[in-house]
Amino acid sequence: MEPEAKWLWKTTQTEDFYATYTISYQLTLATREPLLKEHLLQALAHLSRKVPLLRVCFGRRNGEVWIREMAEEALDFEVVSNVTIQDLHKSLQTYRYDLEKGPLWCVKLLSEPPSSPEVPAGFDASKFCHMYTLFLGLHHGITDGNSNMRICGFLVQILESVMGKKAIDDAEQLGVYVSDEKTRRLLEDYVASLEADPELRRKVMDEIQSRYGKYSLLKSTYKGVGEKVPRTGVLEKNLDSDSTIAFIKRCRAEGVTVNSAFIALSSVAVVDLLVDQGLEQDTYDIRSDHVLNARRYWGGDTSQYLGCHLLPLLPVVAKTPRNIEGKFWDFARSVHQDILRKLNEGGPLLEEAAKHFMAAKPDFDPTFQYEFCVTNMGNVTGLVTEGGDHVQALHVVRTVAMNTVPCTWSILLHTFRNRMIFALTYNTSFVNSEMANRFCNRIFQRLQESL
């Protein structure tokens, strides 16, 4: 008889929203000794036993979808060969998980060593001469970028112990899997504050309604360029350590965050594409949306909390000039001030609370009418770790499936071991590969001009 499942909680609005997405992570490792299949199987078994969110699945309870613990331990691991990195990402972005049995994650090991691996400065390839590429697929409904980067770090450290023949205590759990109860309570507070402040309520509602009827300029300008059947395209570009450090220093000197500067760069690159297609204006309202970690508003130490803890997308509209020459950092500061204001006032929570006072189903849904979406995790070196005496983590890339939503592209940005890593995922029904390459090249061209 199958063991009785432990029910955790009914799926939340956040978990339901992100359940349409599938995540694919690419982790490059280097080891002193050859990495055997047995090493990985042992490490993944420990990982599953020590990380609670890797032991959950979905189930129906009283007609509703709940998250529950898996009835039995199971791993989804495969060694693959003769496939490209693009093909692996594609397969994981359309991966079919056994939702009611689990696991809701999988791991693929590419048997061939990377042909041209991304290697951090100062890495000693003579000591760690065996290189491998791991691919982690995850169901977005149970996890987020913060949790995923931690999971990559847990795997690196467990593999270090396995290859170093150190004892591993499976009873010691790595992190705590929680629902977004803290975020929901915060949202209730924001609803109450808007109830008590009609002027603020009107201001936030006006800002939301200002986006109604405004379609993406890219989708309106570039018509008929995509494929009939949508899929997710992936383009990766990295900044060397010297340029990364120089860019970070310049941002600090100009009084803006790297995130704000990159949003400004991306906004300018969108304008470049619009001008290329013949849409000529003095300025353009470039809307970008931003995925934020809800933990930032929880207070206290949130480092142990795992799960899908993302806020509703935060829209930012930047009035972007066509001619940016000599004015880029002034423009970046204006972007920074707008984002900082929205972050300080709890923008995503404030907007979500305001919807409580608005029509449930407006005639026009502006959710995906942005020009680009950004998920910036900052420096993830501490989360992924650099490794140890037996295993080194060299490179990490994250992608997300975009073919299930009617949007253009999403920028996934982070820094690892002093290098900025940029992944552009795009919906091929709206964006073709030539556009994606041009957009990416313009961003980095503008970045070099800003140094």
For the chain, the structural domain boundaries read: 7-177, 198-298+310-378+401-450
CATH superfamily membership of 7-177:
Chloramphenicol acetyltransferase-like domain (3.30.559.10)
| Average pLDDT estimate for 52-71 | 96
What are the tens digits of pLDDT across the range 144-181?
999 999 999 999 999 999 999 999 999 999 999 999 99
| Average pLDDT estimate for 356-372 | 84
Q: Identify the pLDDT of residue 20.
A: 85
Statement: residue 287 has pLDDT above 70: yes
Binned at pLDDT 50, 70 and 90, residue 3 comes out as low
Q: Identify the pLDDT of residue 114.
A: 85
| Cα–Cα distance list, 426 to 147, 228, 235, 373, 406 (Å) | 23, 14, 8, 10, 10
Q: Are 430 and 408 in contact (CB under 8 A)?
A: yes
**Cβ neighbours around 79 below 10 Å, total:** 11
For the chain, how long is the longest CA-to-CA vector? 72
Statement: residue 384 has pLDDT above 90: yes
Percent of the chain having pLDDT more than 70?
Answer: 99
Alpha-carbon distance of 104 to 57, in angstroms, equals 6
Q: Identify the pLDDT of residue 261.
A: 97
Q: Which residues pair with 235 in a beta bridge?
A: 424
| Average pLDDT estimate for 226-230 | 93
Statement: residue 431 has pLDDT above 70: yes
Q: Identify the pLDDT of residue 298.
A: 95
Judge if 7-177 and 198-298+310-378+401-450 fold alike in CATH terms. Answer: yes
Statement: residue 286 has pLDDT above 60: yes
| Average pLDDT estimate for 228-236 | 94
Statement: residue 1 has pLDDT above 60: no
| Average pLDDT estimate for 324-339 | 96
Alpha-carbon distance of 234 to 425, in angstroms, equals 5
Q: Identify the pLDDT of residue 2.
A: 52
C-alpha 353, offset from chain centre: 24
Percent of the chain having pLDDT more than 90?
Answer: 88
- In sequence order, what E strands does 6-54 have? 7-10, 22-31
The domain 198-298+310-378+401-450: what is its CATH number?
3.30.559.30
| Average pLDDT estimate for 93-117 | 92
Supply φ then ψ for residue 288, to 5 degrees.
-120, 150
Q: Which residue has the higher pLDDT, 118 or 182?
A: 182
